[in-house]
Each structure stands twice: as C-alpha cells, then as structure tokens.
C-alpha cells in the first residue's frame, strides 16, 4: 500500500483547484523536505524538464540535486522513477558519453521577439513525452527540478503536461530557478515550490536510474567560501560544507560500479581549497582504487572539472597530482586580467597565478587540448577593451579560451547593478539569458563586437556559440 504525500501546504483543496479561466492557483513556497523525507512506500516520479533556449550543450549536465533526493527516497522504501527529458532525447554522442539532445524550433516568447536567432525546444518532443508519461503507473508525488532561471518556459511546459496526464498527483517544483525566483515559480502550475535549501542525506546520486550512463557526477562540497559579485553559490548554499574524503570516495566509487560509467565530472566550486588536507588525500585514494594499467597509459577512469579550478592552487605538486589521478580535462578560472573585474571575483586569482598554473600543468604532461580557460564577458561596467586584453593575455600564453557570458542572477550584487540598466530584469527571468544578454538585452556589446571577441578567443574566424553555464542543478 502506498503512502500519499501529506504536507500542510497541500492539505487544503484550494491549493490544487483551478480558476474559472482554467489556470491553476499559485503554488505555496517553503520547505517540504521534512514531509518528503518522511515518505514510506510511495511511488515517486522525478522529472528533469526540456530546455527552451537558443543553444544547449551537455557540459556534463545532470540534475544532481534531484538524483540525490531520489536516492534518499528510495532508501526510505519508496519506489522511484526518473524521467530526464534531456538524456532520453539524445541523438548524437560527444566525447565521454555526453549527448546532443533532440532539437526543434519554437516560436520566440515576447522578450526575444526581435532577436535574430532560432529559439528551440531541446529534449523530448511533446508526443514522446506524453507517451512516456502514459506508460508509467500513476505516481503519489511528482518532483520536477529546474535549471537556469531563463529556462522556466520548459519547466512550465513540462508541468502543464504532467498535470494533463496526472491531474490529481501533488507536484513539487525545486531546483535553481525555484530557489532564485520563488515568487515567479509560483505561477508554474506546481502545488509547492521548494524555496529553501534541501538537505542532502543520500551518500550518492541515483545514477543507476539512467540506462547505461557513461559518466557520473560528484560533489565533494556544498556551497563556496568565496562571495563573488556575479555568483549565486552562497545563496543556494548559505553555509559552506565539505564532505569527508571517505564520503567523497564512496560517492565516486558507487557510481563507478555501474559498468557503463568511465568518467566522473566534479561539480565543486572550490575543489582545490585546502588541497593538502582534502584534495590530495582524495586523489591518492582514487589513484589507489582506479590505477593506470601501466606507466604512462591512460587511466581506465577519467575525471573532469567543468566548473573551473582556482588557478592559484595549482602549484607543481597539485599539477602532478591531477595528472597522476587521471583528471583528463581541466577548466581553469582566469576570469579577467582587469583589476576591477578581479575585485568582483573576490580577488581569488591574479594573472601571475594563472601563468604559473599553466606552466605547472604543461610540465606535468598536459597538452593544451586538455586545458580550457574561462574568461568572463558582459559584466556591468566591463568594456570590450577589457575583454580583448584578457583574451590576448591568455592566447599569448598558448591557452584555449572559453568565454563565459554573464547572466544576471537574482540575489547577487551584479544582478542589482544589471537591474538598474534593465529594470525589467526584476520581473522577467528570460532577460537574464546569457546567450543574448550582453549583445541584445543590456547592449553592453553589439552582436558584431561579441562575435569579434569570440573569433579572437577561438583564434579562428568560425562561430563559437556554445554557451557556458557554470551552475549545477539542485532540487
């Protein structure tokens, strides 16, 4: 016998009834973690919605918070199912098992009406999504996660169809968008919006809910000790907390027991912090458990750092440790060479740190193809000349440059600055889309200037439209 979710916000009928216009009443915001974690014997459906955007790439993207929660619920005796609209729509494979999802053009919403780019639905198309839902038994509760704030149209689309198939099932919305824009998220059609941090109790994510996943994801700490003006990490996780080495190793090892998994991506914002007491012991244990077959041969398991490493921590010892452990692709956070921009980034890096890190990594055996450098672009007050100087500095050292276009994130100092220039940002998350913000929304750069900077960064005359999203998904 299943147990139906009962929480105070959902106990009154008016939370789920529809208005005379057929629209659901606004959801309630708060913390339902206690109610969810008390479930026993319930049938739970977790959903990762499609993405509606100008571009989308699988940069080691998994709904990690939702996967932790599903694992915790399963350990409590519940029957859990995952429907990932991105992963289940994969049509092509990239390196390390990353997928290119199905894409179909969409009409542009009003704020994008005059932007001359194609807006698309990335993920399961409607017919396949509905078919998948109808193949499932009726759940007792539905958990929908959310990513970037400006991806909310895909969340609304998903919830509307979930409501059509399962009209009586309580539906909770969590994730980054729900946390950063809770008032806006109450219009999603969900019954409840998880607007507070959700405690992570599971020792590892429920990666086995995917069919033959080729990479796993790991998070050895929650939050970040730095307070950068453009980053929401401290808002999503107000208290920085790090796992023990044993906990981190157990999380990685559990995912690597799946035969198809041969790579692990670290989602940490500060992986190398206090490296002598955490990262080095972690690497030593990983190297012991997953050794190379012979000296100089590639590791049977590869590790990756898509969120960027603090370059000031990469001395000769650290570079050697990264290489010996099997870290195959490294993303380095230079951010800028402009002192004003570095100040916004908590002064955690200076150009000389970056130059030394690059040299140390090359001495450890890394070729430039394995290293990519993040530079910020489009911040309020950041000039084209500032970005160009940073690109020329990194390129002059032989580095591969990846431009991380600024997205104003609610609750950060630079969001307030952006709202002074674009007041509509305060109420319309679509305007924060990093693919078009600096060139079409804020006017910081013209489209022509932006493309010229991308061409300079790539060292070629071809387009480089792949967006860089530096936040992982948390329920």
- Is residue 11 domain-resident? no
Please give the model's pTM, rounded to 2 decimal places.
Answer: 0.90
Q: Where are the alpha helices (DSSP H) in 275-315?
A: 279-289
In contact, 100 and 94? CB cutoff 8 Å: yes
- The last residue of one of the domains, among 361, 395, 429, is 395
Q: Is the same domain home to 178 and 236? A: no
- Is residue 62 domain-resident? yes
Contacts of 352 (CB under 8 A, 6+ apart): none
Mean pLDDT within 140-147: 98
What is the pLDDT, as a whole number, of residue 349? 80
- Is residue 323 domain-resident? yes
Q: Is the same domain home to 31 and 174? A: yes
Closest CA to 74 of 243, 209, 217: 209
Looking at residue 167, which CATH number applies to its domain?
3.40.50.280
Mean pLDDT within 118-128: 97
The pLDDT mean for the chain works out to 89
Q: Is the same domain home to 38 and 141? A: yes
- The last residue of one of the domains, among 194, 226, 249, is 194
Q: Is the same domain home to 127 and 237? A: no
Q: Is the same domain home to 136 and 227? A: no
> Which helix H or strand E contains 52, and what residues bound it?
strand 51-53
- Is residue 165 domain-resident? yes
Closest CA to 144 of 126, 123, 163: 163
Helix axes 351-363, 316-325, angle to 10 degrees: 50
Mean pLDDT within 61-68: 96
User: What are all long-range contacts of 294-300, with beta carbons under 8 Å and residues at least 24 apart?
Assistant: 298/326, 298/328, 299/325, 299/326, 299/328, 300/262
pLDDT above 80 (res 473): no
Q: Is the same domain home to 389 and 254? A: yes
What are the tokens at 60?
A: 């080691």
pLDDT above 50 (res 96): yes
What is the pLDDT, as a whole number, of residue 13? 28
- Is residue 19 domain-resident? no
387-423 pLDDT per residue, tens: 999 999 999 999 999 999 999 999 999 999 999 999 9
In contact, 309 and 331? CB cutoff 8 Å: yes
What is the pLDDT, as a whole number, of residue 193? 98
Q: Is the same domain home to 227 and 132? A: no
Q: Is the same domain home to 183 and 221? A: no
CA distances from 430 to 85, 163, 329, 446 (A): 21, 24, 31, 19
- Is residue 203 domain-resident? no
25 pLDDT band (50/70/90 cuts)?
low
CA distance 372 to 361: 12
Length of the chain: 475
Contacts of 257 (CB under 8 A, 6+ apart): none
- Is residue 425 domain-resident? no
What are the tokens at 447?
A: 């489209």
- Is residue 233 domain-resident? yes
Q: How many CA atoms lie within 13 A of 81 on its CB side?
A: 16
Total of domains in the chain: 2
CA distance 145 to 48: 6
84-93 pLDDT per residue, tens: 999 999 988 8
**Residue with the larger pLDDT of the pair 468 and 31:** 31
What is the pLDDT, as a whole number, of residue 85? 98
For the chain, give the percent of residues with pLDDT over 70: 89
Q: Is the same domain home to 254 and 383? A: yes
- The last residue of one of the domains, among 344, 369, 395, is 395
Q: Is the same domain home to 161 and 281? A: no
Task: Give residue 292's domain range.
Answer: 212-395
Per residue, what are the HEC states of 358-397? HHHHHHCCCCHHHEEEEEEECCCCCCHHHHHHHHHHHHHC
What is the pLDDT, as a whole number, of residue 340? 83
For the chain, give the percent of residues with pLDDT over 90: 79
**Residue with the larger pLDDT of the pair 154 and 470:** 154
Looking at residue 319, which CATH number applies to its domain?
3.20.20.70
Q: Is the same domain home to 304 and 384? A: yes
pLDDT above 50 (res 356): yes
Percent helix, strand, coil in the chain (nearest 5)?
40, 20, 45
296 pLDDT band (50/70/90 cuts)?
low
pLDDT above 80 (res 433): yes
What are the tokens at 373?
A: 């450098």
What are the tokens at 374?
A: 């993040």
What are the tokens at 174?
A: 């969590």
What is the pLDDT, as a whole number, of residue 336? 93
What is the pLDDT, as a whole number, of residue 106? 98
Q: Is the same domain home to 187 and 222? A: no
In contact, 194 and 35? CB cutoff 8 Å: no
In contact, 223 and 269? CB cutoff 8 Å: yes
pLDDT above 60 (res 371): yes
Mean pLDDT within 294-307: 78
341 pLDDT band (50/70/90 cuts)?
confident
pLDDT above 80 (res 288): yes
CA distances from 203 to 61, 80, 198, 199 (A): 19, 16, 14, 12
């Amino acid at each position: 016998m299943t147990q139906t979710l009962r929480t105070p916000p959902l106990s009154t009928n008016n939370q789920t009834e529809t208005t005379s216009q057929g629209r659901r009443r606004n959801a309630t915001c708060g913390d339902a973690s206690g109610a969810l974690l008390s479930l026993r014997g319930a049938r739970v459906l977790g959903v990762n919605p499609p993405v509606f955007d100008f571009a989308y790439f699988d940069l080691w993207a998994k709904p990690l918070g939702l996967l932790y929660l599903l694992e915790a619920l399963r350990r409590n005796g519940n029957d859990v199912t995952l429907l990932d609209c991105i992963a289940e729509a994969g049509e092509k494979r990239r390196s390390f098992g990353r997928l290119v999802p199905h894409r179909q053009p969409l009409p542009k919403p009003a704020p994008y009406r005059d932007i001359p780019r194609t807006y698309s639905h990335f993920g399961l198309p409607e017919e396949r999504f509905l078919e998948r839902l109808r193949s499932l038994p009726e759940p007792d509760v539905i958990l929908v996660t959310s990513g970037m704030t400006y991806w909310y149209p895909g969340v609304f689309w998903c919830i509307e169809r979930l409501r059509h198939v399962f009209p009586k099932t309580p539906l909770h919305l969590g994730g980054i968008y729900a946390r950063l824009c809770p008032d806006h998220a109450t219009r999603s059609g969900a019954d409840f919006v998880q607007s507070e941090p959700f405690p992570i109790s599971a020792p590892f994510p429920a990666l086995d809910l995917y069919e033959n996943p080729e990479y796993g994801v790991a998070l050895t700490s929650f939050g970040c000790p730095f307070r950068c003006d453009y980053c929401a990490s401290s808002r999503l996780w107000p208290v920085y907390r790090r796992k023990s080495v044993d906990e981190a190793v157990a999380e990685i090892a559990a995912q690597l027991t799946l035969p198809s998994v041969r790579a692990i991506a670290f989602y940490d914002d500060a992986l190398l912090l206090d490296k002598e007491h955490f990262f080095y012991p972690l690497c030593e244990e990983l190297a012991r458990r997953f050794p190379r077959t012979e000296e100089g041969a590639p590791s049977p398991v590869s590790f990756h750092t898509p969120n960027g490493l603090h370059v000031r921590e990469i001395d000769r010892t650290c570079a050697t440790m990264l290489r010996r452990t099997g870290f195959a692709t490294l993303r380095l956070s230079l951010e800028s060479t402009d002192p004003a921009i570095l100040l916004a980034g908590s002064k955690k890096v200076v150009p000389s740190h970056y130059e030394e890190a690059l040299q140390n990594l090359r001495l450890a055996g890394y070729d430039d193809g394995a290293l990519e450098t993040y530079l910020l672009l489009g911040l309020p007050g950041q000039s084209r000349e500032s970005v160009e100087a940073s690109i020329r500095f990194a390129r002059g050292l032989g580095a591969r440059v990846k431009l991380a276009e600024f997205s104003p994130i609610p609750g950060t100092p630079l969001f307030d600055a952006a709202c002074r220039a674009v007041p509509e940002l305060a109420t319309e998350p679509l305007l924060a889309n990093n693919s078009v913000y600096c060139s079409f929304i804020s006017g910081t750069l013209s489209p022509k200037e932006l493309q010229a900077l991308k061409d300079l960064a790539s060292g070629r005359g071809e387009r480089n439209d792949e967006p860089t999203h530096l936040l992982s998904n948390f329920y």
